Structure 1
């Protein structure tokens, strides 16, 4: 990569060290001349080839190597940035073509405006860990994130339709860190800024750290339609078919998935980072759960009819447990283990209550076990209780810490519905009705213990 590559790596290393205590997102695609996926034939131009750039586009292109071309059609506005040792030479059109390429169409540089800020596939998280994944809206920069554009690559990014200003903690670009709107505005209006950022959207920086131990909401709910549109564009705007019945769509996710969702109501003592570390250490490290993918974040929640004392009224912690393939059951077992953990340690963890949903049976297994829901209130109630219910068909023993709420199987909701966003092609789920309390359920003629009967219980998240 030469001196520029070494300098770029050094600058990027210094930037990431400075961001070590902050959440940050790194921009992945580039507009480099030597990147094969920037060309129409998915390879860099062969020796002696004709090279064409889109005439009506603006673009900055970093060139790292030496290239021999017969002709080159340049854009109306743009720049070629030559790294140390890079350059172009003219080839004789009558000379023999490269035998590995042969005669063919000119090498055309792809549309540099094809990269959108809202596309989750184009960002890499700096704090990713094995076993963890991010919800679709959280894969693009959140309002507290620092955004890094690697200094050893050229880039161009579209800022969206302009319906909402993009707000982040800071922006690193061309070796500079922008933490004030005034400085960022001057850069975006400059020629260097216009070559790299385009579109009617506005970019704003507010260096406000997330100081709440329970975490902060990402703040991308308003741009979720654009996030999902960009993510689903290759599939024509439609979500892939889920591999299970009654698939779940978590808050902030574009498409339904198989697995479970655990929702935690918490108080001021809850620490999101410590709870995420607890999941990785005490649960995901176990062999039976290592294949699962887990997302943990604070999300908005609708008003509840009955709030637990001390709970944050407008947010909750969402734990999404995604199954890796058509096999099912691991997410449900982990969700039940998390509810049992809340029952035992909820007060110490700052968790006031927990509820989870589970998707249904895999498609094609010959059965259709509906998804279900279990709610558990924890924290203040630490004693165990026994309830013996004598029914005409027999007796059932329920043994549970805290207060237990359940539904009969035939009344179980068939999944989880995202009230914020609805994508065409996504799996639609009916709203989840409020669970009945023990007193409200005494008129039922038959009960199933939702904690120990895996085939009839509610799903994990």
Structure 2
């Protein structure tokens, strides 16, 4: 069975189980304008500069004429059919500003723990996830698009990032041994980096009432990545007595309904009930439903269902409070049939100032907007089909220094102090067997810029 067939089979199995999947969004493609310092791809005759001390895999889909190119110490070009590089005189395009080199931005800037860099598969309109659950949870399948090159930082190495499976480069990894061999291979080292470890093998969530995400330990790092563009600080909430749900980085306006449940509760059935029977009646609301640890619980394993109703309208109309009270009435009438034992509600206060619902872009109140337009399973299948066909005939050229550079020291994010993260460890990677990829052939060469220094 080819790579495309394995990918389709894997997605069918996901659909048959309770497994959710997260799709990685950013890439290191050559033609993507946001990967370049001038926010545009290099024009004809431009000098092209890659960070000299980095590693990167770059997908090239078109032909390009450049005057000079400075390569990084280790990397690879994956060339689509008809793509390549040719020599051109500097200043060939007078409107290009060829005197300023086109700088490829730091490929290490993309972190696994950044919620903005993931999309949830199959998200329904009106739903969002709290910040900690926007990053892959331990029961999730993880998908890296086949029609893009990418590079992912695995974080501080507090503990292994554990997920159900990883799909990358036409291969599905469900065993730690196979994934470790891939990560230690040249292709794996170009795409995953950092002191963190990636582990697979967890089963799909076996409990109809849902499973806790499992990202509580790394939530400080998730919040640090999310808030970095804002200087590490949450924006002020647009209401009094704002709420902070479990797994959320910043306060929001709305209501939180906490449910205790019995053995017959089904979280998917209840989520569908709210989406179809309740949420459409209230404008300007986004909803998140998940299982979380119970606050102030005596037993560590004690959990509850958290229903977050976030106000996203411009004037904070109080719809979240009205919907929360409607859910309480629904539990009182139908709780036994739903498997709900009890319910409690917390509401934020009245809007402040002009009542504008300002919030963290892509987080909290606005997170569901991204989830509502995320690709569903059908769209992902089509993307995988297109990507596999696109790269079936691709070529790649790789360069590498013979000596391995020492990894850069990790710097903890500011604003979060947790003694758990003072523990460091290292694991010797296993030997790297040949990694198969029937759709891409690779040619390796040593970067001549470094040949003299190595000699």
Q: What stretches of structure 1 of length at least 5 have no aligned partner?
A: 1-6, 367-422, 426-461
Q: Paired residue for 1:350, among 333, 339, 342?
A: 339
Change in Cα spacing, 1:322 to 1:357, as seen in structure 2 (3 Å) is same
Q: Paired residue for 2:291, among 277, 294, 298?
A: 298
Give matches, 1:329-340, under 5 Å.
329-340=318-329
1:244-279 deviation line (CA, Å, top 9, x unaligned): 111100000000000000000111111100000000
Contact 2:156-2:194 within 8 A present in 1 as well: yes
Q: Paired residue for 2:29, among 29, 32, 40?
A: 32
Partner of 1:204: 199
State the Cα distance separating 1:342 from its structure 2 match: 0.5
Give matches, 1:1-400, under 5 Å.
15-21=10-16, 22-93=19-90, 96-286=91-281, 289-304=282-297, 314-325=302-313, 326-364=315-353
State the Cα distance separating 1:241 from its structure 2 match: 1.0
* Structure-2 separation of matches of 1:111 and 1:204: 26
Answer 1 or 2: higher relative contact order, Cα 8 Å, separation at least 6.
2
* Structure-1 separation of matches of 2:8 and 2:290: 27
Give matches, 1:418-433, under 5 Å.
none
State the Cα distance separating 1:135 from its structure 2 match: 0.7
Q: What stretches of structure 2 of length at least 5 have no aligned partner?
A: 356-413, 417-455
Contact 1:259-1:328 within 8 A present in 2 as well: no
- The residue matched to 1:343 in structure 2 has which SS? helix
* Structure-1 separation of matches of 2:72 and 2:4: 29
State the Cα distance separating 1:92 from its structure 2 match: 1.8
State the Cα distance separating 1:10 from its structure 2 match: 8.5
Contact 2:33-2:40 within 8 A present in 1 as well: yes
Partner of 1:413: none
1:157-192 deviation line (CA, Å, top 9, x unaligned): 000010111000001111000000011111111111
Aligned residue pairs total 354
1:202-251 deviation line (CA, Å, top 9, x unaligned): 11101412111100000000010000000000011000111111110000
- The residue matched to 1:20 in structure 2 has which SS? helix
State the Cα distance separating 1:104 from its structure 2 match: 4.0
State the Cα distance separating 1:302 from its structure 2 match: 3.5
1:106-130 deviation line (CA, Å, top 9, x unaligned): 0000000000000000001002110
Q: Higher helix proportion, which one?
A: 2
State the Cα distance separating 1:291 from its structure 2 match: 2.2
Partner of 1:382: none
* Structure-1 separation of matches of 2:288 and 2:325: 17
- The residue matched to 2:278 in structure 1 has which SS? helix
* Structure-2 separation of matches of 1:424 and 1:246: 23
- The residue matched to 1:250 in structure 2 has which SS? coil
State the Cα distance separating 1:327 from its structure 2 match: 1.9
* Structure-2 separation of matches of 1:122 and 1:290: 28
- The residue matched to 1:285 in structure 2 has which SS? helix
* Structure-1 separation of matches of 2:311 and 2:172: 39
Contact 1:68-1:88 within 8 A present in 2 as well: yes
The runs of at least 4 consecutive aligned structure 1 residues that moved more than 4 Å come to 7-15
**TM-score, length-scaled by structure 1:** 0.73
Contact 2:7-2:171 within 8 A present in 1 as well: no
1:131-154 deviation line (CA, Å, top 9, x unaligned): 000010000000000001111111
* Structure-2 separation of matches of 1:180 and 1:317: 31
Change in Cα spacing, 1:265 to 1:337, as seen in structure 2 (3 Å) is same
Change in Cα spacing, 1:315 to 1:358, as seen in structure 2 (3 Å) is same
1:332-363 deviation line (CA, Å, top 9, x unaligned): 00000000000100111111110011001101
* Structure-1 separation of matches of 2:175 and 2:4: 25
State the Cα distance separating 1:19 from its structure 2 match: 2.7
Contact 2:138-2:202 within 8 A present in 1 as well: no
State the Cα distance separating 1:17 from its structure 2 match: 3.8
